[in-house]
Chains A and B, each alone.
Chain A
Amino acid sequence: MVNEKKTDWKQLVRQRLCTLKLPHEVTEDVVAELAAHLQEAYETASASGLSETEATAFALQQIEDWEVLAAQISRAKSTEDPMNARTKTLWLPALASLFASSLFLFVLTEISMRPPLLVRLNSGAARWLYATWIIGQIACGALGAFLSRRVGGSRTARVVAGTFPAIVMLASCVIVIPVSALMEHNDFIFHNPGRLWWGAFLWAVVPALTLLLGAAPFLRESQIRNARRIQIG
């Protein structure tokens, strides 16, 4: 409830716009401007013969939902790119790395299904295909870390972006496979947990190492950025 005797409009606006996500000076600027607007609306209503209570209510009826207003102002005043920093430095590079890794696996699987290789899968060809995929992970890790570094990603973001395919594989082994086995009442992996761990090692741990190997050159600060820092300094 507003004290209609002597409304401190600035205090009122500041309290009701407490969810504004803006720097302090900008927030104070907005508070001052909106408070001045409300005060003038109140004075105009008072001058037209409304009581103080009615005039206050008249001024405040312009805002249905203060939280919505705060969100709209935050968005309008924000100078941040609609695509936030985390999306640019982490998720997009991570997805690029995952896409490259999956595409390569898909291509190798397609090749392995062709007759000349299909018959030799049990005679070691599968190992060669796996080894080829593992070596390919160096390029995938490099891609993720490179894309992240290019847009100013932190070292952690570059590591995660580079090793993202292995993280997804690990999640599959630890969560997706056991849960789907439970749902399908398939108790093979519960009787043979070693198989699951061996799978996790082959499809998550080993790829993680090679992805990291590819990402390694991009974990250092870029020379361009260092040069910029020196110039600014």
Chain B
Amino acid sequence: MEMMLLLFVLVLSIFLGFELINKVPSTLHTPLMSGANAISGITLVGAILSSGSDSSSITIALGTVAVFLASLNVVGGYLVTNRMLRMFKKK
């Protein structure tokens, strides 16, 4: 049953995503992409749970590498998107 709930959320979020970002001016294509990329770093949540768990050391090791890469993705993604958007000005 839990699986069904997750699938339900999946299908609805995909539709939401399509509706949400339907019309994007091309000016924002790159920031939208890098901003979305930062969001995909949400996998950091899973990485943290593995890295801090009391499972086998291989799980902790893999989790820690995942935390490293996901934080790089998140921090780098948000900062660089912000840097780009700061330049987009109307004069």
Co-complex (A, B): no
